[in-house]
Amino acid sequence: MTLVAEYLWLIIVLVVLAVLVLVGLVATRLGSGRGGRVAPPAPPETPPPAAEDEVADAPAGAGVGTDLLEPEAPTVEVEPAPTLDRPEPAAGRLVRLRQRLAGSQGGFGRGLLALLSRDRLDEDDWEELEDTLITADVGVAATQELVERLRTRLRVEGAGAAPVREVLREELLALVDPTMDRSLATDRRDGKPAVTLVVGVNGTGKTTTVGKLARVLVAEDKDVVLGAADTFRAAAAEQLGTWGERVGVPVVRGPEGSDPASVAFEAVRAGIEGDADVVVIDTAGRLQNKAGLMDELGKVKRVIEKQAPVAEVLLVLDATTGQNGMVQAKVFSEVVQVTGVVLTKLDGSAKGGIVVAVQRELGVPVKLVGLGEGPDDLAPFDAAGFVDALLD
Q: What is the CATH number of the domain that holds 206?
A: 3.40.50.300
pTM of the model: 0.75
- Residue 64 in 3-state DSSP? coil
pLDDT in tens, the chain (392 residues): 566 666 676 777 677 777 676 666 655 554 544 444 334 444 445 454 544 444 444 444 444 444 444 545 445 454 454 577 777 776 667 676 666 666 555 567 778 888 888 878 889 989 999 998 888 888 899 999 999 999 888 887 665 556 888 888 999 999 999 999 999 999 998 899 999 999 988 888 899 999 999 999 999 999 999 999 998 887 889 999 999 999 999 999 988 888 999 999 999 999 999 999 999 999 988 765 667 777 888 899 999 999 999 999 999 998 887 777 788 888 888 888 899 999 988 865 556 788 888 898 889 999 999 877 888 889 889 898 888 887 87
Q: Which of 176, 208, 233 is the last residue of a domain?
A: 176
Q: Is residue 82 part of a domain?
A: no
pLDDT for res 5: 66
- CA-based nearest residue to 375, from 247, 251, 223, 185: 247
Count of structural domains within the chain: 2
Return the bridge partners of 342, or none: 316, 368
**Rounded CA separation 315/297 (Å):** 12
Question: What is the CB-side half-sphere exposure of residue 125 using CA atoms within 13 A?
Answer: 14
* 323 domain residue, yes or no: yes
27 lies in some domain: no
Residue 146 included in any domain: yes
Task: Please check whether residue 267 is in contact with residue 225, taking contact to mean a CB–CB distance below 8 angstroms.
Answer: yes
Residue range 44-101, pLDDT digits in tens: 454 545 444 444 444 444 444 444 445 454 454 544 545 777 777 766 676 766 666 6
Final residue of a structural domain among 338, 358, 381: 338
Considering the domain architecture, whether residues 272 and 214 belong to the same structural domain is answered as yes
Assess whether 124 and 207 both reside in one domain: no
Burial 314-328 (b: 16+ CB within 10 A, else e): bbbbbbbbbeebbeb
Same domain? 240 vs 170: no
128 in the same domain as 202: no
pLDDT digits (tens, 9 = 90+) for 142-158: 999 999 999 888 887 66
Q: By residue range, what is the domain housing residue 223?
A: 194-338
Same domain (yes/no): 199, 320: yes
Q: Are residues 168 and 199 in the same domain?
A: no
One-letter identity of residue 197? L
- Which residues lie across from 199 on neighbouring strands? 315
Q: How far is CA 363 from CA 18, 146, 293, 359, 366, in A?
A: 143, 18, 21, 5, 10
